[in-house]
Chain A
Amino acid sequence: EAGVAQSPRYKIIEKRQSVAFWCNPISGHATLYWYQQILGQGPKLLIQFQNNGVVDDSQLPKDRFSAERLKGVDSTLKIQPAKLEDSAVYLCASSFDLYNEQFFGPGTRLTVL
């Protein structure tokens, strides 16, 4: 079974630029999550989707971050404009439903200069 795929794996941008990350969850998984992991900290949830609907986006900085999962499968997370403090690993995870174990992708390491 293929795992959660993410791209790109690494991205370096300058502040005020825009960036987008892509995630392809495990086939059949209805729930998709985006986490931000700042160096030295644990993952923090940014947004949770159930199919193509948002379940929880209370921790998403909506002035600069946006995410979508239009067809209930792949998802993109965008940052516009990026700030220095956005430097982190962005992890995508998926689960069969809201109650089951989450499977994480390898993450995208973002560096904002």
Chain B
Amino acid sequence: DQQVKQNSPSLSVQEGRISILNCDYTNSMFDYFLWYKKYPAEGPTFLISISSIKDKNEDGRFTVFLNKSAKHLSLHIVPSQPGDSAVYFCAARAAAGGSYIPTFGRGTSLIVHP
């Protein structure tokens, strides 16, 4: 049973436009959400996170939005650049349960065309 779902395996966007990557979760105990970026032949690298007490967190071109009632979060990249082409993993963890291990989604492959 997937607790973190990324239903779009891939997304193609034109350079300069907005990229929106979506993530849904089912476990209401999740209270901290992370996005990781992964290039081929490299390990995932942390990109941005958001606590459940917030609904938005922004870092440069990257913004994560959290809708707790819908159990949905999204990552916005504006403007998109070709170097953003990578696989993006959504992850969630439930610190209240004493575990800080994130549960990962399957990932969305983003391709930004010049």
Contacts and interface: CB of A to CB of B under 8 A. Distances in A.
Interface string A84-108: 0000000101000011011111110
Given A42-B91, A56-B99, A102 B46 contact: yes
Nearest to B34: A101
B101 interface: yes
Interface in B78-106: 89, 91, 99-106
Interface residues of B, number: 19
Interface residues of A, number: 22
Given A105-B43, A106-B41, A107-B43, A42 B105 contact: yes
Contact of A42 (B41, B42, B100, B107): B107
Given A40-B106, A106-B41, 5 more contacts: A41-B106, A41-B107, A42-B91, A103-B46, A107-B42
